């Protein structure tokens, strides 16, 4: 097995005398699988942060939110999560198609705990898990390379108030995103959104009240 840490990481570890600590942690907490405790933690979250990389090596970070169970642990080396209706740019999912390298960060702000997952993502248009999440456009599967818990001391303690009213649910009509009714996008919406009426003043007022 080759060197786990790169030259830049080793340079800073040596600068701050943390090489031995880094090696101990790497050997003790970083795993190539999702253990049972981490699987339970991941599936209990209703949001996570997703980092992707495009075909030129440029990074992109995105927030993904939904209901608990947003991410499914398929097995000890595979995660899956939905891509819901967004702004139509498909920044994250598009990056996955050209460069599968991804990083996922799960944070529980109430318990002040977090888990990192790195791996290689893929997308198939007819994934059998599509029906697992209502109104899912695509399903992303991640082949896990490594998982590890992160130091929690800088996680701010916050209380969950309420779930977004836009999270898709079975047998319940999801409200349209207000910005899709703005005149600037009204004539370029996809076919499934063309029914949305443009009412600029009402929409801007609703957005400003948020």
Q: What is the length of the chain?
A: 210
**Is pLDDT above 90 for 98?**
yes
Facing residues of 83 across strands? 138
Look at residue 4 and give its three-state secondary structure: coil
This model's pTM is above 0.85: yes
Average pLDDT over all residues of the chain:
91
Q: What is the pLDDT of residue 86?
A: 86
Could you tell me which residue, 168 or 45, shows the higher pLDDT?
45
pLDDT digits (tens, 9 = 90+) for 164-205: 999 999 878 888 888 888 888 888 888 887 776 555 445 455
Domains in the chain with CATH codes? 1-27 (no CATH), 31-149 (2.30.110.10), 178-209 (no CATH)
């Amino acid at each position: 097995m080759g060197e786990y840490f790169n030259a830049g990481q080793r340079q800073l570890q040596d600068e701050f005398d943390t090489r031995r600590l880094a090696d101990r942690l790497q050997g003790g907490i970083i795993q190539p699988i999702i253990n049972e405790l981490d699987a339970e933690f991941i599936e209990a979250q209703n949001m996570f942060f997703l980092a992707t990389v495009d075909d030129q090596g440029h990074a992109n970070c995105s927030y993904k939110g939904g209901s608990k169970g947003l991410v499914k642990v398929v097995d000890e080396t595979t995660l899956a999560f939905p891509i819901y209706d967004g702004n139509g740019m498909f920044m994250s999912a598009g990056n996955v198609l050209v460069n599968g390298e991804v990083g996922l960060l799960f944070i529980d702000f109430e318990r002040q705990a977090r888990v990192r997952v790195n791996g290689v993502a893929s997308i198939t248009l007819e994934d059998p898990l599509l029906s697992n999440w209502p109104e899912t456009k695509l399903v992303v599967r991640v082949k896990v390379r490594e998982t590890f818990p992160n130091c929690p001391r800088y996680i701010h303690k916050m209380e969950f108030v309420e779930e977004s009213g836009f999270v898709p649910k079975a047998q319940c009509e999801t409200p349209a995103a207000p910005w899709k009714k703005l005149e600037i996008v009204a004539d370029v919406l996809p076919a499934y959104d063309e029914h949305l009426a443009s009412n600029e003043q009402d929409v801007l007022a609703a957005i400003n009240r948020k």
